Structure 1
Amino acid sequence: MKHISSLIFVCTIFVLLLPGRTAKAELWLSGRVVNGTDDGRAVGKQKVLLYESSSVANDQKPLSEATTDHKGTFRFRLADSLINGSFYPAIRFQQVDYHGQSFKLDQKESLLDDLVVYETTDSDANIAVSMQHVIITPGTDGLKIKDVYFVQNTGKRTFTGGEQVAADKFSTFSIPVPADAENVSVSGDLMSCCSVVKDGRLHETMPLKPGYRQEIVTYDQPVRDRSFVMNRHVVYPTAVLDILIPDSAVVVQAAGLVGMGTLNIKGLNYSHYKIEQIAAGTNLRISLAGLPGKPMDFKWPVLLVAGIIIMAFIAYGIWRRRQSEKPSPANIYANLPPSKVREVLLLRIASLDDLAADGKIEQEAYQSERARLKERILLLADLAAK
C-alpha cells in the first residue's frame, strides 16, 4: 500500500510538469467599435490592432489583433508580463486611421472606451475656424509671422479632401503662405510629412475628423519699406481673428478691425486687435505702418554725393571752355566785308525801329541801342574813307 501511494504521488508530479500543461496567467483587454456618423451603431467585422504606447517607431508591429463581432466588440488576450504597460487600439475604417485613447493595463480584465469611427465625405461644408491668432513680430529685416488656427469639423463625417494637391493627396485645409516667405515651418497638429505648398497656400492633407485641430504655420516675411500690406483670401468662415503685435509704434488697419488694448503674454505686452465673423470668400487686407525698417547704410549716400560733386566740376569745366571759345560782340563781323557789315547794321536799326513803334521795347533801351548802332555805321564810313 505504501508503494502504491508513492507511485500515485510521483505520477501526479509528472503530469503537472508535462509541457503545455502548466497553468499560465492571462490578461484580457476588450472594447467596442461604434459608428459616430450613425449615432453610435456597432461596427462589426472590422480588424482592430493593439499597439504599445511607448513605441515611437513608424513601422512598429502590433502586439495583438482582434476582429469585432456583430455587436462591435473586440477582445485582446495578452501575456501577464504586459501588466502595467500602456497600450492603445487602432482601426482603419473607410481608408482613414483611427486611434483610441492610451490605456494602462493594471488588472487582469480591462474595458476600453468606445473606439469611434466616422463615415467620410469630400465636402468641406462643415469646416470652419473657431479662432485664429496672427502673431506679427517686426524686425529690421522684415516680419516673423505665426498663424495659429483652431480648425473645427462641426459635422459627423470625416472630411477626406477636395482639391488634389499632389499624387494621392487631397487638400483638407489650407493656410495662406506668400511666395516670398522664408523659413516656413509647421507645428501643432499640422505635420510636414502631410503638408503641400501650392499656389501660395500650405495645404493640410490629413483627413479632418469631427472635432477640433490646432494647426500652426510660422514663416519670415521680407519687407523692403516701413509699411507692408498682408492680402489674405479667407477660405473658411472665421468666428474670431486676433492680431497680436509686440507693443510698439506699428499702426494696424483692416476692415472691421477693433483695438482691444494691451495683452500680456508670458511677461511680454502685445497690442491686441480683433476682427469677428469673417465670411468665407472675404479678401482681407491688413495694412501695417511704422515698421522698424532696415538701418540706414551711409555708404551709398556718401558715394552718391561724391559722384554729384565730381559731375558738377566736369560740367563747370566744359561750360568755361565753351564760353572761352564763344566769339565776343566786338568780332562778330570780323570775317564780313565793310559793305555787308553796314547792311546788317541798317537792318538791325530798322528792326529796332519796328519794335519801338509797336511798344515792345522801352524808349531808354531803344535810344541807347540805336545810338550805338549808328555810331558803328559812322565808324565804318570813316574807315572806308581812309
Structure 2
Amino acid sequence: MQQTLTAKIRLYPTHEQIALFKAVTKEYQRLCNIVSQWYFDGYFNANQKVFQKDMYHYLRNESPKLNSQMVQSTYRTVKARYDTVRTQLYQHPYRYDTGLIDEKTGKHIWESIPRTLEWLWKPIHFKRPQADYVHGSNYSFVKERTMISLNVLGKRIKVPFKADYLEDLFATNAKLGTAKLVQLKKHWFLHVPVTIEVNEWKKICNQHIVGIDRGLRQIMTIYDEQGRTKFFNGKRVAYQRKKYAHLRKQLQAAGTKSAKRHLKRLAGRENRWMEDVNHRLSKTLVQHYGENTLFVLEVLTNVSFDEKNQSTRDRNRDLHSWSFYDLQVKLTYKAQAKQSQVLMVSAKYTSQRCPKCGQIRKENRNHALHRYDCAYCGFRTNDDRVGAMNLYELGKQYLAGNERPKFELNNVAD
C-alpha cells in the first residue's frame, strides 16, 4: 500500500529571494481568489477543461510573469479547498427543532438536513499568501540535492534548504507530489507530499491487539492480549500546561510590544513541545509492539472528560490545549509504516461496561477514586484500565469479522 507524508523543508533564501517569494505567493493568492469567485459563480460544477476554456488565457493575460503550470495549479488549489469545505459541511448537518414533542420521552424532536456547498453565501477567500509547485515542472532538487530550484515571477532561482531526513526518503524511491510554499513567521518552508510504498496490514497476520484509552489524568492507558496494563501518567504534562498558561496570563496582562513578541514565541514553543510528546508516545508504542499490531482507539468527538477534581477553568484549558487528534494522526502513520493498523471505534459505554461480565452500569465507575466496581460480578480495577480493556475487546470483535464493533445497551444487570 502507499503512504503519504508531508515533509516540511526549511528554506534559507537571501534577502533578494525573500522578496521574490513574497511577490509570487501574493500573486498566486490573488489568482486563487479570482478562480474561487469564478468557481462559486459557476455553482461548483466546473472541471479542468472548463477552467482551461474560460479562465486560463484570462489569467495568463492577468499575470504574464507567473509560470503557466502554476496558473493551471490555481484551479486544483481552489477545487481542493472547496472539496474540503464540502466534506466539513456534510459532517456537520444543519439541525433544527421541529416544534414537535416526543410522547414517550417528552423531549423536543430534532431533525437534520445534509448541507452542501450551496449553503455558502460567498466564495471561499484565500487569506494567506501561498504558491503551489508541481514536482519536475516548478520545483526540483539540484546540485546533488543540496539546493531546490523554484519558479518565481519571471525567473527560476536556487535556494539552499535543510532536511536531513530526505535522504532516507530518496533511498526508498519516494514519489514527490505538488508542494506548497508558505511563510511561517519570518521563516520560509516548502511542504512536500511524499508517497512511499509500505507493506499492508492484514487481519490474518495480526499478532497483537492493543486497547488505548486516552484522557487527561492518564494520557494513555494501554491493555494488550497478554493482559498487561501500562499507564502513561499525565502529571508532568499537566504541570507543563499550567506553566505555559501562567506565562501567557502574565504576558497578556503586561500588554507591551515586548510581551506580545514573547507570546508569539511561547505559542510556537508550546506547540512544538506538544507535538514532541505525542511523537515520543506514538513512537514508543509502535517500536514496542512491532509489526502486525492492531491499535484500538476510541473516537473522542463529542466526548467529555469528567475531571471533577479540577476547576472548570482548568478543565476547559486542558481539553483545548492538549491535542488528542495529533496523537491519533502520529500513531496512525507510524503504525502503517510498520505494517500495523489503527482502528477507530465508538467510545460509547467503554468506560461503563464491565470487561468481565459485560454488564453496563454508569454508577459502577467512581470518578473521585478512579475506580470501577462492578455491582453484578464484583470485578474491581482502575477506571482508565476498564476503558483500555473494553477497547481491546472491540479489537477482538473486529478481527473476528465485525467491521463496526461497538457496545450496545442491551445487557444491563437487574
TM-score (norm 1): 0.21
Higher helix share: 2
Q: Looking at both structures, which has the greater relative contact order when contacts are Cα pairs under 8 Å and sequence separation is at least 6? A: 2
Q: Which one has a bigger Cα radius of gyration?
A: 1
